[in-house]
Structure 1
Amino acid sequence: MTEITQICTTVLSRIKPNEAEKSRLKALAESIIARINALGEAEGLNIKGELVGSSARGTWISGEHDLDIFIMFQPDVERKELEEKGLYIAKKIARDSQSFEERYAEHPYIHAIFDGFEVDLVPAFKVESASEIKSAVDRTPFHNIYVASIIRGLEDEVLVLKQFLKGIGVYGSELKTQGFSGYLVELLIINYGSFVKILEAACEWKSGITIDIEKHGTLVHKDAMVVVDPTDPARNVAAALSLDNMCIFIDRACEFLKNPDEAYFSMKILEPLDDSNFIKILKGRRTSLLAIEFTAPDVVEDVLFPQLYKVRESIHEMFERYDFHVYNKSVWAQKAAVILFELESSKLPHVKRHAGPQVWSKEHALAFKSKYIGSDTFSNVFIRDGRFMVEIPRKYDGAKKLVESEILNCALGKHLALSIKKEFHVLEDEEILNIKDNEFRKFLRIFFEK
């Protein structure tokens, strides 16, 4: 037995669900599906419950008590009826849970806790083929059918690859994570045949790597990795995977093959960054930190994080327009949301050299000179490198004041705009230590240590 084989066997022994765990999951799924079907009959609705995702395909990791149960409506049902009736049925089912809440992705669904299992009750259309989907979730049952027909005998390879990706921090297709989805992992195993063969192949990957198992792709994608969906020739299963996370996997795969170590399969336990270490890091880096803090809107992460990224980029562009150079940036959210920037400096000279037109651009040159002659400037209009110049007072010489004054003019996104307009705080350097949340302090550690 090779060292890698021994490590994989050890890892598998702790992540593979035992028979008792499988039985609990199966019993709960069957119970909920039976209740959906019975309730549909009682309400005169042509619906059926269906278990989808890794729990249906036997590729779930022990301790991950997540169930995705779809409430399948006929395709001729109107979208509004699916949303209203689907939510009605889901809420009735969830009344027997310990707790539940309504969430919203493309349309509303219910997230509930049953006996320690997290269950998503999702209305969907039962279409004949993936090409006929009426909502994004409609294709998931086709993933079930495809994977179940091929994956038998390879489930352990899927589990080991999933745990490796978790250990190196790149598992999860959520827009917050931008990593490898469970379905993508299954397709990679189907394509390459084993965990080790995927690692070997990854050492040769480059940006734009394309995998088309069914050889039926119809579109050109510009993503870091392209894995054509076997059930939908126009879809890239790896679209959510970021270039950086793909490269992290490539790097760790090559490292593991050279020096196998079980540590790759365990997530690093992060300690919150305490006040003294934060101050020490800040003094050592000699940069400036600026945090915009506000209440996170009550939406699912796949809605929240794209808006956070959008605001982050908009503020970044604003900083650069006003000559504040961004060195690093990130976002964090739980009950509060924080957009964090590291700037080369949060303070600029009050004087700014303003470049005008070239001297031979007569009309523009005249307008420029007329505008600044006799105005509140630090210098007369002068010529440098063939252009008119003038030194003027800077509108904002502090980054904090800039954000406080101009953030509402940035592209905020629908939900963030409401939260930020209601209240926000701009914290600079050591003021950021007013945020005591341990998860935020772990985020701060990652922000600095990468």
Structure 2
Amino acid sequence: MADEDEGAGGSENTAQDEATAEDFERVVSRVHDRIDPDAEERATLEQVAAALANRAADAATDRCPEADVLRVGSTARDTWISGDRDIDVFVRFPTDLDRETLEEYGLEVGHATLPEGHEEYAEHPYVKGEFDGFDVDVVPCFRVDDATKIRSAVDRTPFHTQYLEARLDDELASEVRLTKGFLKGIGVYGSNLRTRGFSGYLTELLVCEYGGFRPFLEAAADWQPPVHLDPEDHGRATFDDPLVVIDPTDPERNVAAVLSSDNVARLQHYARDVLADPRAELFDPDAWEPDPLSTADLRDHLEHRETTPIALRFPAPDLVDDQLYPQLRKSLAGIRSGLEDRDFDVLRAATFAGDDAVVFVELAVAQRPAVERHDGPPIHVRAHAEGFFEAYVDDPDAYGPFVDGDRYVVEREREFTTAREFLESDRLFDVGLGAHVETALEDGYELLVGEELTALLASEALAVELARYFDPRP
């Protein structure tokens, strides 16, 4: 009978697996219908991209006859999703050109290509703008022979395009689009320092490595970080990251270096989720967008949780996200550490920004007694023990020193008995803060405690962030 039961169970599991596979394919088909560009959209993009490339080539060769133009990125590799409006044009100059001249020519070519464009700065300046409804970057770089000999980070990008063009056929390109749609849907796509997610290049390499979207999900569901992938078996560099994908064009670089451990874990969670319960909403970022938190809902959360939430609100420094968010995270870590060092236990913390920036900490303990215990050294460590004793023996505000076990102990007056006192004091500036955040706080900030947080709800962006905070998901 036992064998029969096992056989029946196995048949049932097989049927369930087949049903899930069919469901998976039905969902995938629906998602493809939404994310795959149609013939008209492709034709429009190719027409615009060709016009841009011709403009850039004419302007570049007028200044340097040996210059050339290369399209890079997802639209060059047919891995772009319908609705994406980004075109990247790289203008390559010979390596005998000095960097100053490259930057000068690069900006001139950029402005000739995009007359209404504006200058932005990565490792060196480039021109960004709009052309026929597309967002366009015109980026100068050196035409080096080998990606290991780059003179700036952008010099590596053309090698990425060449490497993937040789490996991505139509089927794999389609699988990349599907993977990007999924990563966008679950909120982990984008290598900017706000998201710290999967870049387009990393996504393409992973799909090539595993041979498709589903094989990638099945592998990711079982990852045991740190995970190390080396597509070209370079086998040289080592990295301390949760996911390591050695750049096929540069063995000293981890393509996944910016990827956070949180986002690796999120991928694993949702990979298991979509394989077990396939549904199209996991590919739709709009399905995850909460309504702004209402005043009534905020008060309900505060009453139910019985914690002490505190927000420091200040005008967001005028920085791009890649500069702002690392500074906000550093400041959050410093403030959290400063609170915990003073025994104000932090339950959870977050930081977010709209026109204003907010460092938000939710405290399990926000008030402490007037005295705190301070352990001294063991008494047998004579020099340190005697120094400790002398420091406190005549302190009228200290209880002790007395002996507890093998060491001196005092109970001394606590500097701050409430978290608010600490956060309103100059001691806030002793913690590790981002430079621009520190300057903004020095100019003035608003401290909101408990129900005072309702003031944040006047900003829709902050109300949405608070809705995410109080309804956390993987």
With the length of structure 2 as denominator, give the TM-score of the two structures: 0.88
1:16 CA drift (Å): 0.8
Residue 180 of structure 1 corresponds to which residue in structure 2? 198
Residue 423 of structure 1 corresponds to which residue in structure 2? 444
**Contact 2:55–2:112 (Cα < 8 Å) also in 1:** no
Please tell me the residue identity of whatever aligns with 2:237. L
Structure-to-structure mapping, 1:195-214, within 5 angstroms: 195-214=213-232
Residue 269 of structure 2 corresponds to which residue in structure 1? 251
1:372-415 CA-partner distances (Å, limit 9, x unpaired)? 23434152432222222222221122223323322333333343
Residue 442 of structure 1 corresponds to which residue in structure 2? 464
1: CA distance between counterparts of 2:33 and 2:404?
A: 72
In structure 1, the residue corresponding to 2:225 is in which secondary structure? coil
1:109 counterpart = 2:109: no
1:45 CA drift (Å): 7.0
Structure 1 residues 411, 330: closer, same or farther in 2, change over 3 A?
same
Residue 398 of structure 1 corresponds to which residue in structure 2? 418
Residue 308 of structure 2 corresponds to which residue in structure 1? 288
Which of 217-226 and 328-337 deviates more?
328-337
Please tell me the residue identity of whatever aligns with 1:416. V
**Contact 2:61–2:68 (Cα < 8 Å) also in 1:** no
Structure 1 residues 408, 206: closer, same or farther in 2, change over 3 A?
same
Residue 123 of structure 1 corresponds to which residue in structure 2? 140
Residue 312 of structure 1 corresponds to which residue in structure 2? 332
1:408 counterpart = 2:425: no
1:367 counterpart = 2:387: yes
Structure 1 residues 8, 74: closer, same or farther in 2, change over 3 A?
same
Structure 1 residues 112, 140: closer, same or farther in 2, change over 3 A?
same
1:143-202 CA-partner distances (Å, limit 9, x unpaired)? 111111111221111111111111222111222112211111111111121211112222
1:144 counterpart = 2:161: yes
1:51 counterpart = 2:71: yes
CA RMSD of aligned residues (A): 2.2
In structure 1, the residue corresponding to 2:441 is in which secondary structure? helix
Question: Number of residues paired by the alignment?
Answer: 447
1:279-327 CA-partner distances (Å, limit 9, x unpaired)? 2112222222222222223332222222222222222222222222222
Please tell me the residue identity of whatever aligns with 1:210. H
1:141 CA drift (Å): 0.8
In structure 2, the residue corresponding to 1:60 is in which secondary structure? coil
1: CA distance between counterparts of 2:418 and 2:105?
A: 54
Equivalent residue in structure 1 for 2:32, among 6, 12, 24: 12
1:351 counterpart = 2:371: yes
1: CA distance between counterparts of 2:118 and 2:417?
A: 46
Please tell me the residue identity of whatever aligns with 1:6. R
1:229-250 CA-partner distances (Å, limit 9, x unpaired)? 1111121112222222212222
Which of 343-352 and 180-189 deviates more?
343-352
Which of 104-113 and 219-228 deviates more?
104-113
In structure 1, the residue corresponding to 2:451 is in which secondary structure? helix
Residue 67 of structure 1 corresponds to which residue in structure 2? 87
Residue 269 of structure 1 corresponds to which residue in structure 2? 289
1:43 CA drift (Å): 4.2
**Contact 1:211–1:228 (Cα < 8 Å) also in 2:** yes
**Contact 1:324–1:346 (Cα < 8 Å) also in 2:** yes
Structure 1 residues 186, 87: closer, same or farther in 2, change over 3 A?
same
**Contact 2:56–2:112 (Cα < 8 Å) also in 1:** no
Larger-Rg structure: 2
Structure 1 residues 403, 237: closer, same or farther in 2, change over 3 A?
same
1:92 CA drift (Å): 4.2
Equivalent residue in structure 2 for 1:323, among 317, 328, 343: 343
Structure 2 unmatched ranges of 5 or more: 1-20
Which of 158-167 and 341-350 deviates more?
341-350
Structure 1 residues 28, 274: closer, same or farther in 2, change over 3 A?
same
2: CA distance between counterparts of 1:132 and 1:108?
A: 20
With the length of structure 1 as denominator, give the TM-score of the two structures: 0.92
1: CA distance between counterparts of 2:307 and 2:277?
A: 37
Structure 1 residues 422, 60: closer, same or farther in 2, change over 3 A?
same
**Contact 2:60–2:105 (Cα < 8 Å) also in 1:** no
2: CA distance between counterparts of 1:91 and 1:408?
A: 43
Percent identity between the two aligned chains: 38
Please tell me the residue identity of whatever aligns with 2:446. H
1:246-269 CA-partner distances (Å, limit 9, x unpaired)? 122222222222222222212213
1:218 CA drift (Å): 1.4
Residue 432 of structure 1 corresponds to which residue in structure 2? 453
Please tell me the residue identity of whatever aligns with 2:452. E
2: CA distance between counterparts of 1:84 and 1:50?
A: 19
Residue 254 of structure 2 corresponds to which residue in structure 1? 236
2: CA distance between counterparts of 1:45 and 1:434?
A: 60
1:54 CA drift (Å): 0.4
Residue 87 of structure 1 corresponds to which residue in structure 2? 107
**Contact 1:103–1:299 (Cα < 8 Å) also in 2:** no
1:75 CA drift (Å): 2.1
Residue 336 of structure 1 corresponds to which residue in structure 2? 356
2: CA distance between counterparts of 1:58 and 1:141?
A: 15
Please tell me the residue identity of whatever aligns with 2:305. R
Please tell me the residue identity of whatever aligns with 2:361. F
1:330 CA drift (Å): 1.8
In structure 1, the residue corresponding to 2:399 is in which secondary structure? coil
In structure 2, the residue corresponding to 1:391 is in which secondary structure? strand
In structure 1, the residue corresponding to 2:91 is in which secondary structure? strand
Structure 1 unmatched ranges of 5 or more: none
